[in-house]
Amino acid sequence: MTPSMQPEHEEAAYRHARERAEAIQGLYIHLLVYVVINTCLFAINWFTRGEDGIWWFVWPLAGWGIGLLIHVLVVIAPVFSSDWVDRKTDRIMANRRI
């Protein structure tokens, strides 16, 4: 690599690291909101259910939990990342050459 290419490479690496950090920050915010809102829903359910009432708060907890799990997979697992798209494109192009 030539010295003139080094700053471009470092800039691209910085952009990638920043995008990754923003994705992780978004996940943490999602997790915080999930905990706060579902804690409030639990409290509402606790105080309004009565003696024979049902625990309805588990339904939004489970539904939103599925969405949160998908968010975790998108951020943590490399399957859905832009790097995955690049790797898949390279693989497809390599198969075309054969």
| Segment 3-49, tens digit of pLDDT | 555 688 788 889 888 988 999 999 999 999 999 999 999 999 999 99
Query: Is the distance from CB of 75 to CB of 23 less than 8 angstroms?
Result: yes
Tokens 């409290």 found at = 43
Axis crossing angle, helix 6-48 with helix 58-76, rounded to the nearest 10: 170
Nearest CA among 11, 35, 16, 32 for reference residue 78: 16
The larger pLDDT score, comparing residue 3 to residue 71, is at 71
Query: Is the distance from CB of 74 to CB of 52 less than 8 angstroms?
Result: no
- Model confidence band, residue 98 (pLDDT cutoffs 50, 70, 90): low
